[in-house]
Amino acid sequence: MTNSTRTYLSRYLTGTSRIMATSNRESEINKKEEEWREELTPEQFCVLRQHATERPHTSPLNKQYAKGTYVCAGCGQPLFTSGTKFDSGTGWPSFFHPIEGAIGTTVDKSLFMTRVEVHCSRCKGHLGHVFDDGPAPTGKRYCINGVSLKFIPD
pLDDT greater than 70 at residue 80: yes
* Residue 21 banded pLDDT, cuts 50, 70, 90: very low
Average pLDDT of the residues of the chain: 85
- Measuring CA to CA, which residue among 56, 51, 60, 21 is closest to residue 128? 51
Quote the CA–CA distance of 30 and 10 in Å, as a whole number.
23
Residue range 105-128: average pLDDT? 90
Query: For the chain, how many residues are written?
Result: 154
Quote the CA–CA distance of 123 and 76 in Å, as a whole number.
9
For residue 26, the model assigns a pLDDT of 60
Q: Which long-range contacts (CB under 8 A, 24 or more apart) does 57-60 make?
A: 57/91, 58/91, 58/146, 59/92, 59/93, 59/145, 59/146, 59/147, 60/146
For residue 96, the model assigns a pLDDT of 97
| Assessment of whether the complete model's pTM goes beyond 0.85 | no
Residue 131's DSSP bridge partners are 141
Q: What is the pLDDT of residues 30-73, one digit of tens each?
A: 899 999 999 999 999 999 999 999 999 999 999 999 999 999 99
Catalytic option among 72, 75, 123, 143: 143
Query: Using CA atoms in the order 55, 57, 119, 31, what is the torsion angle rounded to 10 degrees?
Result: -60
Catalytic annotation on 143?
Answer: yes
pLDDT greater than 70 at residue 81: yes
pLDDT greater than 90 at residue 22: no
